[in-house]
């Protein structure tokens, strides 16, 4: 077998065999296939797509290219949650302690932010003292002791995916559903959970701008999970506007704490309760999604979810005082208003621009090695459908460098579009795919 034959087969729209896919991933991981041949194959996949069997084979081959985490020491069904990314998406920080407070073990490996989104690990790292660089023993010990732990994703899982993703990034082959689905699912499967809940975002602040493609991605990932024997459900969520009120690491952590304390924005609460309810269902709890949502709401009302978050913060060496006084996480030196220059109703938000503004303020990474300023961010005062008067703040910028802050004002202002006629508010949840 040789790579040239495999490239030609895919170029000619033939279905690759399991052996051909295994050969490609194995030899590429070892450095025996050069990047120019791998990119040629990726482009052929991008253009001609893959069958369900090919996507499954590619995923499994990438899982086998690295280590597979063994969570079998932790009793109970372990459910992982993954989001395809969004702006202001603090859902993991709310859902995880709520689910853990219902007695379902939460052992979560999470990523750092890259590009215009921020990752859960960076958000948690904004809590003074908090450690996410746990080793596997400490991680598993924490879950067994208090029911919840979150650590940074191991560098050793799905090694082929890491190499291929870097290559796709520079060869115009990122936006392929078979390649995205196998990339995400290989990491989820290798992370060791028994079942997987996916939050697939769509809209102006998401990787998938269009609803049809988001639906196809979700269905492809659900099929992969189910075919490898890990029941998978996807919830399609709307990212045509930021989720909740704050965007930026420490500000989102503050909002997650406030949500657990019963002071959450309606859209954040709705998404968290629904995702949490599906996590409980996957873990074999509850009679229905409605019952599970009520149970999770009761964990907010009773303070048990917040208490679990506080226990989790202490256990991972963080200053748990911030859980009682979330204002301690608002530390930026400058709070600058972005005022509307028109009257009208918000009709559209170019949501990625808000994520990008936070990166420009220093709150995200352009390269993996970049340092992050945890405390900068944006507070979103108006959402789609809201009425706005001229001179009213539509956003506030939280900056540590006034010049950098002022430089974001115009971009942020122009990311809002207005209509003279009333505009319908948008829904957070589009669909459930299982
Ligand atoms: N996230 C991933 O992990 N992989 C992709 O291909 C795209 C987004």
Instruction: Check residue 111 and give its pLDDT.
Output: 73
Residue nearest to atom 1 of ligand 1 (CA): 184
- Is a pLDDT exceeding 60 seen at residue 114? no
DSSP 89-116: --HHHHHHHHHHTTT--EEEEEPPP-TT
Ligand 1 geometric centre to CA of 197 (Å): 16
Helix (H) or strand (E) holding 9: helix 3-11
The percentage of the chain sitting over the pLDDT mark of 70, rounded to a whole number, equals 99
Residue nearest to atom 7 of ligand 1 (CA): 180
Cβ-based burial of 19 (10 A; exposed 0-12, middle 13-18, buried ≥19): exposed
- Is a pLDDT exceeding 60 seen at residue 19? yes
Ligand 1 geometric centre to CA of 166 (Å): 10
Strand order across the beta sheet in which 416-419 lies: 387-388, 344-349, 416-419
Q: How far is CA 420 from CA 274, 382, 393, 410, 427, in A?
A: 34, 16, 18, 21, 21
For the CA of 174, the closest atom of ligand 1 is 6
Instruction: Check residue 58 and give its pLDDT.
Output: 98
Confidence label for 431 from pLDDT (cuts 50, 70 and 90): very high
Tokens 């369900």 sit on residue: 52
Confidence label for 115 from pLDDT (cuts 50, 70 and 90): low
User: Which residues carry out catalysis?
Assistant: 82, 161, 168, 183, 187
**Residue 397 or 426, more confident:** 397
- Pocket lined around ligand 1, Cβ cut-off 6 Å: 165, 179-180, 183-184
Tell me the per-residue pLDDT of 290-347, one tens digit each, with 9 for 90 and over. 999 999 999 999 999 999 999 999 999 999 999 999 999 999 999 999 999 999 999 9
Instruction: Check residue 327 and give its pLDDT.
Output: 98
DSSP 119-184: -HHHHHHTSTT------HHHHHHHHHHHSEEEEEPPTTSSHHHHHHHHHHHTTT-S--HHHHHHHH
DSSP 371-415: ---TT-EEEE---TT-EE-TT-EEEEEEESSHHHHHHTHHHHHHT
∠ CA 8-11-13, nearest 5°, is 115
CB-based contact 378:397 (threshold 8 Å)? yes
CB atoms within 10 A of CB 315: 18
Q: Give CA torsion, residues 415, 337, 384, 123, to 10 deg.
A: 90
- Is a pLDDT exceeding 80 seen at residue 105? yes
Cα–Cα distance for residue pair 335/385, rounded to 1 Å: 25
- Overall average pLDDT of the 104-119 stretch: 79
- Is a pLDDT exceeding 80 seen at residue 118? no
Cα–Cα distance for residue pair 408/339, rounded to 1 Å: 12
Instruction: Check residue 106 and give its pLDDT.
Output: 94
Tell me the per-residue pLDDT of 386-419, one tens digit each, with 9 for 90 and over. 999 999 999 999 999 999 999 999 999 999 999 9
Instruction: Check residue 113 and give its pLDDT.
Output: 64
- Is a pLDDT exceeding 80 seen at residue 89? yes
Q: Per the structure block, which two tokens stand in for 105?
A: 């073990």
- Is a pLDDT exceeding 90 seen at residue 286? no
Instruction: Check residue 153 and give its pLDDT.
Output: 84
Cα–Cα distance for residue pair 43/37, rounded to 1 Å: 10
Q: Give CA torsion, residues 185, 176, 90, 131, to 10 deg.
A: 60
Tell me the per-residue pLDDT of 193-231, one tens digit each, with 9 for 90 and over. 999 999 999 999 998 989 999 999 999 999 999 999 999
Residue nearest to atom 3 of ligand 1 (CA): 184
- Overall average pLDDT of the 26-48 stretch: 97
CB-based contact 137:330 (threshold 8 Å)? no
Instruction: Check residue 154 and give its pLDDT.
Output: 84
The percentage of the chain sitting over the pLDDT mark of 90, rounded to a whole number, equals 91
Domains in the chain, CATH or no CATH each: 3-49 (1.20.970.10), 79-324 (3.40.1030.10), 330-419 (3.90.1170.30)
Predicted TM-score (pTM) of the model is 0.94
Residue 194, SS3 per DSSP: coil
Q: Per the structure block, which two tokens stand in for 208?
A: 């998938």
Cα–Cα distance for residue pair 356/354, rounded to 1 Å: 5
For the CA of 184, the closest atom of ligand 1 is 3
Nearest to 206 by CA among 244, 242, 163, 259: 242
Residue nearest to atom 2 of ligand 1 (CA): 184
Instruction: Check residue 119 and give its pLDDT.
Output: 85
- Overall average pLDDT of the 367-385 stretch: 92
Confidence label for 94 from pLDDT (cuts 50, 70 and 90): very high
């Amino acid at each position: 077998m040789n790579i040239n034959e495999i490239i030609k087969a895919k170029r000619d729209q033939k279905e690759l065999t399991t052996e051909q896919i295994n050969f490609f991933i194995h030899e590429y991981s070892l450095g025996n296939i050069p990047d120019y041949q791998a990119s040629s194959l990726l482009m052929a996949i991008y253009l001609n797509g893959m069958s369900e069997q090919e996507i499954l084979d590619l995923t499994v081959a990438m899982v086998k290219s690295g280590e597979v985490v063994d969570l079998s020491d932790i009793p109970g069904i372990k459910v992982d949650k993954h989001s395809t990314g969004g702006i202001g998406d603090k859902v993991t920080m709310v859902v995880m302690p709520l689910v853990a407070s219902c007695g379902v073990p939460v052992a979560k490996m999470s990523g750092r932010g890259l590009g215009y989104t921020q990752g859960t690990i960076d958000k948690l790292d904004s809590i003074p003292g908090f450690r996410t660089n746990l080793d596997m023993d400490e991680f598993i010990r924490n879950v067994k002791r208090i029911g919840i732990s979150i650590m940074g994703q191991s560098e050793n899982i799905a090694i082929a995916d890491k190499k291929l993703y870097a290559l796709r990034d520079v060869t115009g082959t990122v936006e392929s559903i078979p390649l995205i689905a196998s990339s995400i699912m290989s990491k989820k499967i290798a992370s060791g959970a028994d079942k997987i809940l996916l939050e697939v975002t769509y809209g102006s602040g998401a990787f998938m701008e269009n609803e049809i493609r988001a639906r196809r991605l979700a269905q492809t990932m659900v099929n992969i999970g189910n075919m490898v024997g890990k029941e998978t459900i996807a919830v399609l969520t709307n990212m045509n506007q930021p989720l909740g009120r704050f965007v930026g690491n420490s500000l989102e952590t503050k909002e997650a704490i406030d949500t657990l304390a019963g002071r959450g924005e309606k859209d954040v609460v709705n998404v968290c309760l629904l995702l949490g309810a599906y996590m409980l269902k996957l873990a074999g709890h509850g009679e229905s999604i409605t019952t599970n949502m009520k149970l999770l709401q009761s964990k907010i009302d009773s303070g048990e979810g917040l208490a679990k978050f506080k226990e989790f913060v202490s256990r991972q060496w963080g200053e748990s005082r911030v859980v009682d006084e979330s204002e301690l996480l608002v530390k930026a030196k400058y709070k600058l208003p972005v005022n509307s220059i028109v009257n009208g109703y918000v009709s559209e938000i170019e949501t990625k621009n808000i994520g990008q503004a936070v990166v420009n303020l220093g709150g995200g990474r352009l390269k993996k090695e970049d340092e992050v300023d945890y405390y900068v961010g944006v507070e979103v005062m108006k959402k789609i459908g809201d009425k706005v008067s001229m001179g009213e703040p539509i956003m506030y910028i939280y900056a540590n460098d006034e010049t950098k802050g002022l430089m974001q004002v115009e971009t942020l202002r122009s990311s809002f579009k207005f209509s003279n006629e009333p505009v319908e508010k948008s829904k957070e949840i589009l669909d459930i795919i299982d």
